[in-house]
Amino acid sequence: MRDIKFRVWNKTAEVMIKDVLDLDCGTAEVLMQYTGLKDKNGVEIYEGDVITYQEEPQKMQAKVVWKNGGFVFVYEDGTENITSESWYAPMDVEITEVIGNIYENPELLKEQA
C-alpha cells in the first residue's frame, strides 16, 4: 500500500506547493501525484519530476508521467534520439535520482532534445 499524496505547481506565482490537502485546484495550478516511490537518495518521486536513470552503458534522463494507470519514465535515447518508455519497477528506483521537475527546471527537458 502506498501513500496517496499530491503537490501543486502554481503557474501564476511560479511556486511548488507540497503536501497539498485540498485537491480543488484552479486553472492556474497543475496537480501532480506522488508515485509512492523514492529515488536512491530517499527523495519522493512525483509525476512531473525529471530523473536520471543509470542504464548501462549510459546514464539517461527521463520525465515521470502517468500513463495507462501507472507511472512511467519517458526518456530520449541519446544515441538514437528515440522516445522510449520504461515501467517503474522496484529495481528501477535504486538507480534513479530526482534532479528537478518540468516546472521549476524546464531547461532539463531542453537538454533531452
- Give the sign of the dihedral formed by CA 13, CA 48, CA 98, CA 59: negative
Cell numbers at 16, concatenated: 511548488
Higher pLDDT, 20 or 91: 20
Q: How far apart are CA 93 and CA 3, in angstroms?
A: 16
Q: What is the reported pLDDT for 44?
A: 92
Residue-wise pLDDT for 35-94, tens only, equals 888 899 999 999 999 988 777 777 788 888 887 777 887 876 544 445 556 555 555 677
Q: What is the reported pLDDT for 104?
A: 93
For residue 80, give Cα distances in angstroms to 50, 51, 76, 84, 87.
20, 19, 8, 11, 20
Could you tell me the domains of the chain? Answer: 6-110 (2.30.30.290)
